[in-house]
């Protein structure tokens, strides 16, 4: 007895769909919930900030989606083990606090060699951390190879603190070029001359 072609194709489609449905159910599913809101007290100690910083990195900050601690091999973004030590020397003229602030507020300002840009600005949507939450994350990062010194009163170039020397010099240089080009345009000469 010969089985019609249409039935054989239908059976193959049914078996293939069933197989992939079975395999799909074997893969663990991760249910993603909105992160729990973290209320920061104004009297947090540095030790408290470290704990809160870790919670933020695991939850609202989504940091461990891409970063790891203590892993090697092919990584999506740099591993954070020992990051406190590296942060002090990564960018000449910057402290670890200034470097951590730059990597979070302007993640594409410095790309670690061997990695591609791709980290989002974390004080804007979709992550949207507050300045105080970022300070807590910085406190936690300082414990990864160092001692936390950040407090909720810590100032840096992105939260009304002083600019880093490089940023300040670059801003002044851009202002001078802008003024020079404006004066050329207002005198009737092209800006590129």
Domains of the chain, first to last: 46-162 (1.10.760.10)
- Under the banding of pLDDT at 50, 70 and 90, the label for residue 176 is very low
Percent of the chain with pLDDT over 90: 63
- Contact between 139 and 148 under an 8 Å Cβ cutoff? The reply is yes
Is a pLDDT exceeding 80 seen at residue 187?
no
Helix ranges restricted to H, 73-164: 83-87, 96-105, 131-143
What average pLDDT does this structure show over 174-178? Answer: 44
What average pLDDT does this structure show over 110-132? Answer: 92
Token pair 């949507």: residue? 125
pLDDT tens-digit profile of 17-73? 999 999 888 877 777 677 777 888 889 999 999 999 999 999 999 999 999 999 988
DSSP letters spanning 17-86: HHHHHHHHHHSPP----PPPP-PPPTT--HHHHHHHHHHHHHTTT-GGGT--SS--SS-SS---TTHHHH
What is the reported pTM? 0.68
Q: What is the mean pLDDT of the chain?
A: 83
Q: Which stretch of 5-19, 123-137, 141-155, 166-180 has the lowest confidence by average pLDDT?
A: 166-180
pLDDT tens-digit profile of 138-172? 999 999 999 999 999 999 999 876 544 444 444 44
Class of residue 154 by CB neighbours under 10 A (exposed 0-12, middle 13-18, buried 19+): middle
What average pLDDT does this structure show over 173-189? Answer: 45
């Amino acid at each position: 007895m010969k089985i019609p072609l249409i039935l054989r194709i239908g059976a193959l489609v049914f078996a293939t769909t069933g197989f992939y449905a079975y395999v799909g159910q074997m893969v663990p599913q991760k249910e993603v919930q909105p992160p729990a809101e973290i209320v920061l007290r104004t009297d947090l100690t540095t030790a408290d900030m470290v704990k809160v910083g870790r919670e933020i990195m695991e939850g609202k900050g989504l940091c461990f989606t891409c970063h790891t601690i203590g892993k090697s091999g092919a990584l999506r973004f740099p591993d954070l083990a020992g990051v406190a030590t590296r942060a002090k020397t990564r960018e000449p003229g910057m402290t670890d606090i200034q470097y951590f602030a730059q990597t979070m507020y302007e993640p594409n300002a410095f790309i670690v060699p061997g990695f591609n840009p791709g980290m989002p600005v974390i004080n804007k949507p979709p992550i949207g951390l507050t300045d105080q939450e970022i300070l807590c994350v910085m406190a936690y990062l300082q414990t990864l190879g160092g001692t936390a010194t950040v407090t909720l009163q810590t100032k840096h170039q992105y939260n009304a603190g002083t600019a880093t020397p490089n940023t300040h010099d670059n801003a002044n240089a851009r202002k001078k070029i802008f003024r020079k080009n404006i004066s050329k345009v207002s005198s009737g000469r092209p800006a590129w001359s």
